[in-house]
Amino acid sequence: MAVKAPILELEDVHTYYGNIHALKGVSCTIPSGDIACLIGANGAGKTTTLLTIFGVQRAHRGKIKFKGRPIHHLRPEQVAAQGISQAPEGRQIFPRMTTLENLEMGAYLRSDKTAVENDMEWVFGLFPVLKDRTQQLGGTLSGGEQQMLAIGRALMSRPELLLLDEPSLGLAPKLVERIFETILEINKKGVTIFLVEQNAHMALTISNTGYVMETGKIVLTDHAASLLKNEKVKKAYLGE
Amino acid sequence: MAKSDFKKFIIYSLFLGILILPMVGFPGRSFETSRAFTIWGGIVGILALWLLNKTVRRSDMYQRTAAHLAPFRNTVLRKFSKFPTKYYILALMIAVAAYPLLADNYMIDVGITCLIYIVLGLGLNIVVGLAGLLDLGYIAFYAVGAYSYSLLNLHFGISFWLALPIGMVIGGIFGCIIGYPTLKMRGDYLAIVTMGFGEIIRLVLNNWDKLTKGPNGLLGMAKPAVIYPAFTEGGLKWVAYSLKSLHALYYLMFIIAVLTVIGVRRLDNSRIGRAWVAIREDEVAAELSGVPTTWLKLLAYALGAAFASVVGAFFAAKLSYTNPNFFIFMESCIVLCIVVLGGVGSIPGIILAGIILIAVPEVFRELQNYRMLAFGLAMAAMMVLRPEGLIPASRRKRELHETDQFTPEDLKDGG
């Protein structure tokens, strides 16, 4: 297998919330076209990592590079313009906007109308339920539909790199499976995916690379398949 | 008669009795029983009507009659909605334009005040209604506008028309000054900081004797003037006509108000407006969608302030006088009340609320201080009975009646 060019690189990234040292030197490299996942317990700093990549939280030290260019000094809207997009944790959709308006917000930075319409069709293809609910308010959708909407909205900016924060959170097992299948489908379209998950088993099954995070640091990096067999990981995160 | 409604009727009556009796019972030193109980009786009467209305509406007969009349009602409604909205707007414009011809000077003055507050309400609506940032010091920008024009006119002789854009820019800058440190704040904190800012502006104006003449205020600004060509003995000349009459000032304010409505409407429907709504709904999600939240929040403050400073300049020019006591905290509250009462985010609602809150207390001036009591009661009742405002904005209505939209179907396949 040829070595793929990295799309995202984190080098020794530190982030603070006030005095709390949330990320204590996170480094990782995500190859272009892959699915990578970051697993870890609650409060390990997984969500903070994603928010730091996006510039919502500022990296106090360290470097973040997207396609070789540093992005850690950029504001969120500038990061979004680079071709990164994120479906935030806990389905932070716009509850009082309709499904359609939510998706349109995802394409906020784009001005190519016909292409946006095509992408909307693509999203409706991935999540047919959303098409039936275009005029319904985001807040009145079911949990699964809201998650689909959050991912769909993130796709509307036509990203090269998609950051997903706990897409399985609070969903029924059957729906989780559906979501993960769709993630694979999105990846096949050439979108690199960086997945943050507590559902370690599912996440590692579909990923190429896996990172294990503990208290603000990445403690283990390996092929996802090897992590699935790793005794420590099995014990701590897979419940076996 | 439903039991729960009757219970409510008793509780409300007693509650209002406790609240009102001591207040209206003591016009002088001694308790005037008849007077107090007449007023209370009136209120209980209104509550009884409400109870009756509710009971009748629940009854079978009413329901059956209503069902009978429904087709007729629908045809009437359909007929009316067939008129395009622009006809209604045109009718309203004509009515507002014709008003000074029918009114005396005092009524025109009240009309101007109404228009001023409507524009202030619409300006504040940008900040509160669209971007969702609570601002309790909004009147400060009105003061900035008034003092900008006063100082520019007195010291540099700058005309009203030139002072308008300058004042807007100055107002916008002040908007950013208050906006910048509050970018990360929400809710209560934002309310306190903006309130403090409003007071700071007023206190500076009150104490900076050399520049603002302190509490004495500034006097003698020129009224706005219109320059038009006219044939005189010397041939074609430009003649300045000073807008001194109340009529002229009314029409000027009317034009400002119409332009404001157009401006706010366009903002509301724009890309920027949509992004503001996104920020109000969920700031992080908006950021992740690529909305430049920092800029847009500053822009909301700046634009809101710019509108306020335009009317501020007008206000100073109208009176040829200004002093810091025009800009007390209570004024900020009234403007906020207009926005909330009318319906946050709703332009027609704010116009209606502006008229109600400014003109109606004038009408009931004979009732003296009771009008303030009635005013307070009306506000409280509004917030309990109709929290979305008089004419709610469609989006806002959704927010407050979100649960109405749930159907069993939505819950069935929840994940």
Domain ranges of chain A: 1-83+195-240
Distance CA A7, CA A33 (A): 8
Find the radius of gyration of the CA atoms of chain B: 25
Q: What is the mean pLDDT of residues B244-272?
A: 91
Nearest to A108 among B275, B398, B402 (CB): B275
How many other CB atoms are found less than 10 A from the CB of residue B411? 10
String of DSSP letters for B360-371: HHHHTGGGTTHH
What is the structure's pLDDT at A151? 92
What is the structure's pLDDT at B97? 87
In whole angstroms, how far apart are CA B352 and each of B264, B265, B341, B391?
Answer: 16, 16, 9, 8
Distance CA B83, CA B400 (A): 29
B157 pLDDT band, cuts 50/70/90, is confident
Pair B315, B164: CB distance under 8 Å: no
Distance CA A107, CA A104 (A): 5
Residue A168's closest chain B neighbor by CA?
A: B415
What is the structure's pLDDT at B399? 54
Contacts of A171 (CB under 8 A, 6+ apart): A143, A144, A147, A179, B415
Among candidate residues B159, B158, B154, B179, the one with its CA nearest the CA of residue B306: B179
The DSSP secondary-structure symbol of B221 reads P
Tell me how close the Cα of A172 comes to any Cα of chain B, in angstroms. 5
* Percentage of chain B modeled with pLDDT above 70: 91
Domain residue extents for chain B: 3-74, 85-404
**Residue A152 forms contact with B (CB below 8 Å):** no
Pair A136, A129: CB distance under 8 Å: no
Pair B201, B143: CB distance under 8 Å: yes
pTM (two decimals): 0.81
Nearest to A140 among B282, B290, B402 (CB): B402
For chain B, the residue count is: 415
Q: Which of B289, B297, B412 to mutate to test the interface with A (most CBs of A within 10 A)?
A: B289
Distance CA B113, CA B271 (A): 32
Pair B47, B9: CB distance under 8 Å: yes
Query: pLDDT tens across A221-239, in order?
Result: 888 888 888 888 888 777 7
Residue B263 has pLDDT above 90, yes or no: yes
Provide φ and ψ at A24, rounded to 5°: -115, 65
Q: Which helix (H) or strand (E) holds B337?
A: helix B329-342
Average pLDDT of every residue of chain B: 84
Query: pLDDT tens across A122-143, in order?
Result: 999 999 989 988 888 888 888 8
* Percentage of chain A modeled with pLDDT above 90: 37
Query: pLDDT tens across A174-225, in order?
Result: 888 889 999 999 999 899 999 998 888 888 889 999 999 988 888 888 888 8
A222's tokens: 């390996």
How many other CB atoms are found less than 10 A from the CB of residue B49? 10
B47's tokens: 């509550």
How many other CB atoms are found less than 10 A from the CB of residue A31? 16
Pair B311, B118: CB distance under 8 Å: no
Distance CA B108, CA B105 (A): 5
Between B21 and B170, the higher pLDDT residue: B170
Distance CA A32, CA A7 (A): 5
Residue B409 has pLDDT above 50, yes or no: no
Pair A217, A27: CB distance under 8 Å: no
- 3-class DSSP assignment, residue B346: coil
Residue B241 has pLDDT above 80, yes or no: no
Residue B248 has pLDDT above 60, yes or no: yes
Residue A159's closest chain B neighbor by CA?
A: B289
What is the structure's pLDDT at B401? 53
Q: Chain A contacts of B405, Cβ < 8 Å? A: 136-137, 140
Describe the crossing of helices B105-125 and B329-342 by its angle, rounded to 10 degrees.
80
Q: Chain A contacts of B286, Cβ < 8 Å? A: 94, 105
Contacts of B98 (CB under 8 A, 6+ apart): none
Cα B8–Cα B404–Cα A93 angle in degrees, nearest 5: 130
Tell me how close the Cα of B413 comes to any Cα of chain A, in angstroms. 7
**Residue A222 forms contact with B (CB below 8 Å):** no
- Taking only residues 86 to 145 of chain A, the set having a beta carbon closer than 8 angstroms to any beta carbon of chain B reads 86, 88, 92-97, 101, 104-106, 108-109, 136-137, 139-145
Query: pLDDT tens across A43-66, in order?
Result: 888 889 999 999 988 889 899 999
Tell me how close the Cα of A28 comes to any Cα of chain B, in angstroms. 22
- 3-class DSSP assignment, residue A195: strand
In whole angstroms, how far apart are CA B383 and each of B45, B138, B337, B380?
Answer: 21, 22, 11, 5
The domain made up of A1-83+195-240 is a member of CATH 3.40.190.10: no
Nearest to B288 among A76, A81, A101 (CB): A76
Tell me how close the Cα of A59 comes to any Cα of chain B, in angstroms. 16
What is the structure's pLDDT at B406? 43
Residue B413 has pLDDT above 60, yes or no: no
Describe the crossing of helices B347-363 and B370-385 by its angle, rounded to 10 degrees.
150
Are residues B281 and A141, on separate chains, in Cβ contact within 8 Å? no
Pair B311, B97: CB distance under 8 Å: no
For chain A, the residue count is: 240
Residue B397 has pLDDT above 70, yes or no: no
Tell me how close the Cα of A137 comes to any Cα of chain B, in angstroms. 8
Residue B368 has pLDDT above 70, yes or no: no
What is the structure's pLDDT at B404? 45
Provide φ and ψ at B162, rounded to 5°: -75, -35
Nearest to B278 among A105, A136, A143 (CB): A105
B411 pLDDT band, cuts 50/70/90, is very low
Q: Which of B271, B284, B288, B404 to mutate to test the interface with A (most CBs of A within 10 A)?
A: B288
Q: What is the mean pLDDT of residues B315-338?
A: 91
Decide the pairing of beta strands A217-223 and A209-214. Answer: antiparallel
Q: Chain A contacts of B277, Cβ < 8 Å? A: 94, 97
Q: Which of A51, A91, A92, A93 to mutate to test the interface with B (most CBs of B within 10 A)?
A: A92
Distance CA B338, CA B385 (A): 17
